[in-house]
Structure 1
Amino acid sequence: MSKQTDDFFKNVISHAKEYGFVFPSSEIYDGLSAVYDYGQLGAELKNNLKAYWWKAMVQLHENIVGIDAAIFMHPTTWKASGHVDGFNDPMIDNKDSKKRYRADQLIEERIATYEADGKIDQAEQLQADLDAALNADDLAGLKSLIETHNIVCPISGTKNWTDVRQFNLMFSTQMGASAEDAETVYLRPETAQGIFVNFLNVQKSGRMKIPFGIAQIGKAFRNEVIARQFIMRMREFEQMEMQFFVRPGTELEWYQQWKETRLKWHLAIGGSSAKYRYHDHVKLAHYANAAVDIEYEFPFGFKEVEGIHSRTDFDLSQHQKYSGKKIQYFDPEISQNYVPYVIETSIGLDRLFLTVLCNAFEEQDLSTAEKQDSRSVLRFHPALAPVKAAVLPLTKKDGLPDKAREILNRLKLDYNVQYDEKDSIGKRYRRQDAIGTPFCITIDYQSLEDDTVTLRHRDSMEQERVATSDLEKIIRNLVDWKNLLVKL
């Protein structure tokens, strides 16, 4: 990461805390590693991102429905899914700093360094060597790559490494009225299994016909050892997943379709297409016959924000085997029973949040020959903006606050709107720019005479005089969900 991009990312993190988007969890107790809280504006932005995904996935598709499965599941669920035996990451410790790292990520960072330094041949060769080691589950090979390429611990600066070993990522706890009767249960490491075990319930109660999908938004938990890159990798995070059930033999066609559909969804938010790319998996999970990541170019490099996987019939077949229940679908078109194949789209909401934040954040120099000036602005798509409009009386007297609150009370029935009367109007504009508010509505003395206000636009900073009776229509035309959904 160059100094410029490093500074940009530090500024994004600082801005997120200063304006109430993201806080370190339990900060008064010095925080908890890899755990964060979403502040008042962060919660609004998260809710808007969830609404956008849900509308695009469920509302726009007649054959996709949503559920909300429990976090706790019968422990056999995780035996069937393979998480008990195989949900591991290759970890390596530095003996001097006592810090633990994911071996593959240390190597990926060295690849990124090679690329940044223009050493493309070395980057490509190391990537090929990494892929080969991962495919072969060659833990000794991973350590050899770390040593050969002189990868040091970021804390101690030494190469005093342990061997690479596998580390299970699931959190476990006890469920039961007494210690003697307690059963080991797990905090779910993904939301997908809650969909699979409800396949028959949803299919029968909803009279669903293949192909159809089940969507879910929910918390998942992984005992991530590496606490870096802000909210990129956390122990408690939120997923938005959709499992799409299809007839065997058609899965790769659907896989290609969902791959294209999901990238279009990301681009509709307003990010540059140059910042997104597909990354095909070289090493496929044991259940998959095709897999790709949609990656976004963060300040620290391209990282996954969404995965699209063709999971075959592995999940339903495993649950059929372990539960002893028949989990099949009778297809009237071909008069045949079968276990459906599955195409999965899985997006990390927290990573999406960071993507949107990085996309939107901009520090502008507005200086002129006469004076120095600048602003920090979040250029959120208006539909996603936490606050849609700010109502600002020019002064605190002469009836202007009363007029302003009259407008506020009308707008807040439909939109999240803020009222602010503190400081100069210029400072208030800058505050709203910093949180991404698309509109500022200023009430002045002319407003009392002709019922008009000054409407200021966030991106252009242009101002226009409009009638208060037109405000709702103007705001609606810009922030309506239709502006995003029609692009899909």
Structure 2
Amino acid sequence: MSNPTAPADAAQLKDIVAHAKEYGFVFQSSEIYDGLAAVYDYGPNGVELKNNLKRLWWEAMTQLHDNVVGLDAAIFMDPRTWEASGHVAGFNDPLIDNLDSKKRYRADVLLEEKAAEYEKAGDPARGAALTAEMGRLLTANDLAGVRQLIINEDILCPVSGTGKWTEVRQFNLMFSTQGSAVDSDAPPVYLRPETAQGIFVNFLNVQKSARQKIPFGIAQIGKAFRNEIVARQFIFRMREFEQMEMQFFVRPGTEGAWYDTWKAARRRFHEAVGLSPAKLRFHDHDKLAHYAKAAVDIEYEFPFGFKEIEGIHSRGDFDLTQHQTLSRKKQQYFDADIDPGTGKAYGNYIPFVVETSVGADRLFLATLCEAFAEETITEGEGEAQQTKTRTFLKLHPALAPIKAAIFPLVRKDGMPEKAQQIFDDLRFDFRVTVEEKDAIGKRYTRQDLIGTPFCIVVDGQTLEDDTVTVRDRDTRAQTRMPISALRAYIAEAVSFRRIFEKL
């Protein structure tokens, strides 16, 4: 018997971080050299979970939509790309230092955290007013006003506890490197700060080669790099991260309807992968980019509060127009469909864009936080009965790093060999493992801690009738079934179809 599973927010971030390291999900990069700040490596179980999330997103975009195709653009791009996009001149964070602690902070983050405090204290109107005022000041590039707002709100340095702040200044977030090994005067080449521009510069290449008609989308998964000064909260904010983006090109005038469509679709995706609806919310942007018509974040309630995991933006024709201007190459699309208002073809125009952009690492962290579960269970009977806390990862079976673990009950009597036969049969379809070491209870616990949905036990009866006991991770219920039924049983539970049906 057991008590209900504890909510995900009962776990502190430190518990998640410790679990991620101990069980092979995430390691600090270069840890033997004391680590590189805000850079992380994914371990054996982490890379499986992350790859499953990426593959799920990819297939949900390109397989379920006949008008979305894929792209894998290079990280290095012509430097003029970032001039056209505005990153060279305007990709900045407002930074402020505390004179006593010498610590550096993002001014907007300090204000956002203060607004979150008001919301938690039951005064959401005051928090919203603070966020709106911050947005107004940043839009006007009034950095002195931002500093004064911090002072007026009596925001103190978490380290020194004082409010002795420097002036606010802007810091460009792009990493740059030398563009030529032989020409020292060559312009710098940037590590891309976003993956979207690789899609925009390939708009016509993809449209023509894939024979797509408006509306259509281009999806991409790839690394991006930002020189974050304030990188924290584990893998939530990193200097090297992975984005899963889709740019959807539409006829001007239809972008509003498509924005609403993708906003709803993306919310359904996060619920389908297992994130609690109660822990998801939309947050409309108070500060819009000058080219944007609308922007909203899908936020998840992490142990450190609601934070963005995905953004949906109506970008207008800004990006393609900018690239057309700077490259002097037309980025127009010829639309042969008939405009019912004029009775003529729509003709040439630069499409508008609706963007969906989800952070693979943030989705990974949200999934890990959601799955981290603890429950009180009672084992044994009579005087031998004992109560203990069980910790496990309640991952959707389709996302679990390992789908099934096969346990010979003892390491003799032909049971290990039979377990190996089952492994050899299932390994072509699923990620499975064989484990022989320690008592069966300890083996269950190890698999629970990495989220394995099924444990298959080979015992004496197996050798007689080719049946095994299958133990369910979440309920701990045990079912006896023929070995011949295992493939279909596991396949039904771990299929992406179970998730796709909810979309």
**TM-score category, normalised to shorter length:** over 0.9
SS at match of 1:406: helix
Q: TM-score scaled to structure 2, two decimals? A: 0.94
Once the two structures are superposed, the pairs formed by residues 158-177 of structure 1 within 5 Å of their partners are 158-177=162-181
Match of 1:475 in 2: 490
Native 8 Å contact 1:68 1:216 kept in 2: yes
Distance 1:6 1:163 in 2: 38
**More moved, 304-313 vs 92-101:** 92-101
User: Quick one: which of 106, 114, 128 aligns to 1:110?
Assistant: 114
Match of 1:61 in 2: 65
Shift of 1:398: 1.4
Change (3 A) 1:337 1:122: closer
SS at match of 2:188: strand
Once the two structures are superposed, the pairs formed by residues 50-449 of structure 1 within 5 Å of their partners are 50-334=54-338, 335=345, 336-367=347-378, 370-449=385-464
Distance 2:159 2:449 in 1: 34
Change (3 A) 1:6 1:27: farther
Shift of 1:256: 0.7
Distance 1:426 1:106 in 2: 47
1:150-185 Cα distance to aligned partner (Å, 9 max, x none):
212122222221111111000000021314353310
Q: Which amino acid aligns with 1:388?
A: K
SS at match of 2:178: strand
Distance 1:116 1:450 in 2: 60
Number of equivalent positions: 485
SS at match of 1:344: strand
Native 8 Å contact 2:132 2:286 kept in 1: no
Q: CA RMSD in A?
A: 1.4
Distance 2:189 2:129 in 1: 43
SS at match of 1:332: strand
Distance 1:119 1:260 in 2: 28
SS at match of 2:357: strand
State the identity %. Answer: 64
User: Quick one: which of 475, 481, 485 aligns to 1:460?
Assistant: 475
1:96-153 Cα distance to aligned partner (Å, 9 max, x none):
2222111111111122222223344543432333233233222112211211222121
Change (3 A) 1:68 1:471: same
SS at match of 2:430: coil
Native 8 Å contact 1:6 1:300 kept in 2: no
Native 8 Å contact 1:21 1:41 kept in 2: yes
Distance 2:442 2:265 in 1: 42
Shift of 1:95: 2.0
Distance 1:250 1:78 in 2: 28
1:64-86 Cα distance to aligned partner (Å, 9 max, x none):
10010000000000000000001
Match of 2:466 in 1: 451
Q: TM-score scaled to structure 1, two decimals? A: 0.97
Distance 1:209 1:116 in 2: 47
Q: Which amino acid aligns with 2:292?
A: A
Native 8 Å contact 1:191 1:218 kept in 2: yes
Distance 1:123 1:390 in 2: 49
Change (3 A) 1:119 1:63: closer
Distance 1:314 1:243 in 2: 13
Q: Which amino acid aligns with 2:147?
A: K
SS at match of 2:253: coil
1:185-224 Cα distance to aligned partner (Å, 9 max, x none):
0000000000000011111111111001100000000000
Distance 1:285 1:126 in 2: 19
Native 8 Å contact 1:151 1:159 kept in 2: yes
Q: Which amino acid aligns with 2:351?
A: P
- Which blocks of at least 5 consecutive residues in structure 2 are unaligned? 1-7, 339-344
Native 8 Å contact 2:283 2:296 kept in 1: yes
Match of 1:24 in 2: 28
- Flag the structure with more relative contact order, 1 or 2, with Cα contacts below 8 A and sequence separation at least 6: 2
